[in-house]
Amino acid sequence: MNILQTYQTFYFVGIGGIGMSALARYFNASGKKVLGYDKTNTKLTQNLMNEGIDIVFEDFIDERITSLQKEDTLVIYTPAIKTLGILDYFNENQFEVLKRAKVLGLITENTDCIAIAGTHGKTTTSTLVAHLCKEADLPFSCFLGGISENFKSNFLYNGSKYSVVEADEYDRSFLNLSPDWAVVTSTDADHLDIYGDKSHIEEGFRQFAALVPQDKQLFVRKGVEIGRGHQTYAVNEPADYYSDNLRMDHDKIYFDFHTPTETIKDFVWEIPGIHNVENATVALAILHNLGADFDTLKKAIANFKGIKRRYTKHIYQNGKIYIDDYAHHPTEINAVVSSIRTFYPDKKLVVVFQPHLFSRTRDFVDGFAESLSKADELILLDIYPARELQENFQGVNSSWLLDKVTLDKKEVSTLSDAFEKIKEKDFDILLTVGAGNIDTLYDPICEWISAVQKI
């Protein structure tokens, strides 16, 4: 029997994380008692509480914890949390304590698991695969790393034959999965605090790819070496599955899709960037292999609305454009800025960027400087530390990064001062970008631009 079936109560340590919250929603929808802790009260934790989940925001052992019985309670934690009194309590009192990735593996082990991995693109790809599964009415559940704009959640249950999961490489979590189908979008250097160097990251992805049972059930972007047989996908070059004939018309992208045996013309969608056409290409390849028909897939691609904080775009009547994106690696920032420059080559772009992690800033400082220098003007926020302590990274700060940016108009700002600074800027396009708590600027900016255009 699956160990999860023996518990009626599930306590989440770090419940506000995007991956943790999807699991919490799964158990809550299954009728289990769900409660948890997080350091910060956010929109996501508010939504979880509105769904009936009890959450605390102080590291304090109260009666809600002491009343839990270890025989009935499974504790789930994120490895991003290193030390916490609540977690110590559960360990000292011999509760069953499992990592998020282990639990996700247990949930999906009896499904046909479709796992999307890669240092870039996995959230968009996994969300799109889930959307296509829903539109094709396949019996599936999904556990996503972003909030789908189509079904307004990072979790959806539509049956138990298939599961769609975002396979996270952080802490080698994806090795806990049992993928029947898998995608590897990229193996660029990231999480060097865990892996040390690029060669160890690549080895981690090879280990993940080795978990897939059949070569034809593993899809890898052409050019990525994965160390075993697989099917390739690409854009604008031949592969087992590829898209070409890309053209733009009024913020929409049209493309043709090729399988090994046929060509389907004139797919259309509104998600910008060649990298996103790559994501669509592999999503279509998987659904084609699952038996979905192309009429259904064409309609599904056309009505895909994207993911919150993945190129979330607002166009206002006064001509201003505001874009918000989760990009937190130089490659991702380059992709976002490139998309903006493709659609709006002559418009003035002001970027507000919050670096995420001292270690990532240190490891990729030159790449960040190069990508941020493609803006017209930059407001660089203080580094969001997440799980790291600044005292362990002497000299790594936003001023150090700013010195390497080649723009004339650039400045460092705290998050609390950023909104007032933004209001002083002259821009055609405003881009807020980063993976920390920069998302707290989103609502004030939207409200401000909406109010200004009415004056």
| CATH code of residue 390 | 3.90.190.20
CATH number, domain at 190?
A: 3.40.1190.10
Alpha carbons 294 and 287: distance in angstroms, whole number: 9
pLDDT digits (tens, 9 = 90+) for 20-43: 999 999 999 999 999 999 988 888
Residue 91 lies in a domain: yes
Residue 106 lies in a domain: no
pLDDT digits (tens, 9 = 90+) for 74-93: 999 987 777 899 999 999 99
Residue 182 lies in a domain: yes
Is residue 358 domain-shared with residue 281, that is, in the same domain?
A: no
Q: Three-class SS of residue 234?
A: strand
Residue 295 lies in a domain: yes
Say what the pLDDT of residue 272 is: 78
Query: Higher confidence at residue 162 or residue 119?
Result: 162
68: pLDDT confidence band, cut at 50, 70 and 90?
Answer: very high
Residue 365 lies in a domain: yes
Is residue 355 domain-shared with residue 295, that is, in the same domain?
A: no
Say what the pLDDT of residue 453 is: 59
Is residue 151 domain-shared with residue 77, that is, in the same domain?
A: no
As given in the structure block, the two tokens for residue 90 are 């559960």
What residue type is assigned to position 71 of the chain? E
For the chain, give the percent of residues with pLDDT over 70.
97
Is residue 204 domain-shared with residue 333, that is, in the same domain?
A: no
271, 302, 333 - which closes a domain: 302
Is residue 146 domain-shared with residue 232, that is, in the same domain?
A: yes
Mean pLDDT calculated for residue range 202-206: 89
Mean pLDDT calculated for residue range 396-403: 97
Nearest to 149 by CA among 121, 120, 117, 123: 123
170, pLDDT greater than 80: no
Strand extents, DSSP E, 60-180: 73-77, 96-99, 112-117, 140-143, 155-157, 162-167
197, pLDDT greater than 80: no
Residue 307 lies in a domain: no
Question: How many CA atoms does the CB half-sphere of 164 hold within 13 Å?
Answer: 31
Mean pLDDT calculated for residue range 59-73: 95
| Sheet of strand 33-37: strand arrangement | 54-56, 33-37, 9-13, 73-77, 96-99
**Whole-number Cα distances in Å, 215 to 26, 174, 212:** 31, 18, 7
Is residue 268 domain-shared with residue 356, that is, in the same domain?
A: no
101, 123, 153 - which closes a domain: 101
Residues in CB range of 216: below 8 A, 6 or more apart: 231, 289
Q: Rounded mean pLDDT of the chain?
A: 91
Residue 333 lies in a domain: yes
Is residue 216 domain-shared with residue 274, that is, in the same domain?
A: yes
Mean pLDDT calculated for residue range 417-430: 96
What residue type is assigned to position 308 of the chain? K
Alpha carbons 341 and 443: distance in angstroms, whole number: 25
Residues 435, 303 contacting (CB under 8 angstroms): no
Long-range pairs for 209-212: beta carbons < 8 A, 24 or more residues apart: 209/182, 209/184, 211/175, 211/177, 211/178, 211/179, 211/182, 212/179, 212/180, 212/181, 212/182
Say what the pLDDT of residue 455 is: 43
Is residue 125 domain-shared with residue 181, that is, in the same domain?
A: yes
Is residue 196 domain-shared with residue 271, that is, in the same domain?
A: yes
Is residue 97 domain-shared with residue 175, that is, in the same domain?
A: no
Say what the pLDDT of residue 193 is: 53
As given in the structure block, the two tokens for residue 441 are 């600027």
Provide the angle, in degrees to the nearest 10, between the axes of the packed helices 100-108 and 18-29.
40
Residue 430 lies in a domain: yes
Say what the pLDDT of residue 79 is: 79
256: pLDDT confidence band, cut at 50, 70 and 90?
Answer: very high
pLDDT digits (tens, 9 = 90+) for 282-334: 999 999 999 999 999 999 999 999 888 778 888 898 889 999 998 888 988 99
Say what the pLDDT of residue 191 is: 43
Alpha carbons 293 and 391: distance in angstroms, whole number: 56
302, 334, 357 - which closes a domain: 302
Mean pLDDT calculated for residue range 156-176: 89
194: pLDDT confidence band, cut at 50, 70 and 90?
Answer: low
Residues 16, 40 contacting (CB under 8 angstroms): yes
Alpha carbons 93 and 85: distance in angstroms, whole number: 12
Question: Buried b / exposed e across 74-93, counting CB within 10 Å, b at 16+?
Answer: bbbbbbebeeeebbebbeee
Question: Buried b / exposed e across 30-51, counting CB within 10 Å, b at 16+?
Answer: eeebbbbbbeeebebbeebeee
Query: Higher confidence at residue 1 or residue 15?
Result: 15
Evaluate if pTM is beyond 0.95.
Answer: no
Is residue 49 domain-shared with residue 76, that is, in the same domain?
A: yes
CATH number, domain at 33?
A: 3.40.50.720
Residues in CB range of 61: below 8 A, 6 or more apart: 85, 86, 89
Nearest to 226 by CA among 261, 263, 185, 256: 185
252, pLDDT greater than 90: no
Domain that holds residue 92: 3-101
Is residue 292 domain-shared with residue 344, that is, in the same domain?
A: no
Least confident window among 61-65, 277-281, 307-311, 331-335: 307-311
400, pLDDT greater than 80: yes
pLDDT digits (tens, 9 = 90+) for 330-366: 988 998 998 899 888 899 999 999 999 999 999 899 9
As given in the structure block, the two tokens for residue 183 are 């995608």
What residue type is assigned to position 35 of the chain? L
Question: Buried b / exposed e across 160-189, counting CB within 10 Å, b at 16+?
Answer: eebbbbbbbbbbbbbebbebbbbbbbbbbb
Alpha carbons 369 and 353: distance in angstroms, whole number: 11
Mean pLDDT calculated for residue range 418-434: 96
Q: How many domains does the chain have?
A: 3
